[in-house]
Structure 1
Amino acid sequence: MPLHFRKIVKFGPIRLNLGRKGLSSWTAKIGRWSWNSRTRRQNVDLPGPFSWRSK
């Protein structure tokens, strides 16, 4: 089983996801809404165990 390097650096509502080759993606999270630069998806956390994700 290979080992993978992953590091997350937080700057307020922005999270930088760092991998072995550098910056792999970034995420903006404001309240219950978030957006990921790699998948280009929006997520909204709903009450309880539910969430909504765009395609």
Structure 2
Amino acid sequence: MPIKFRQRKSIGPIKLNFTQAGLTSWGVKIGPWSWNSRTRKNAVDLPGPFSWRQG
């Protein structure tokens, strides 16, 4: 099994994901709301065990 390179950097609410190919995706999380560049989905964390996602 080959060794893979993965690294995650945080700049405030922005998360950058790097692999051997370079920057692969990034996301934003502000309070209960989050967004991911790879999947282009919105998500909101609701109280308790609930969450909402828009795909």
TM-score using structure 1 length: 0.89
Which residue pairs with 2:4 in the alignment? 4
Task: Report the 3-state secondary structure (helix = DSSP H, G, I; strand = E; otherwise coil) of the residue aligned with 2:52.
Answer: strand
Q: 1:33 and 2:33 equivalent?
A: yes
**In structure 1, C-alpha distance between the alignment counterparts of 2:25 and 2:53, rounded to whole Å:** 18
**In structure 2, C-alpha distance between the alignment counterparts of 1:5 and 1:52, rounded to whole Å:** 31
Contiguous gaps of at least 5 residues in structure 2: none
Q: Percent identity?
A: 62
Contiguous gaps of at least 5 residues in structure 1: none
| Paired positions, count | 55
Superposed CA RMSD in Å reads: 1.1
**In structure 1, C-alpha distance between the alignment counterparts of 2:34 and 2:25, rounded to whole Å:** 13
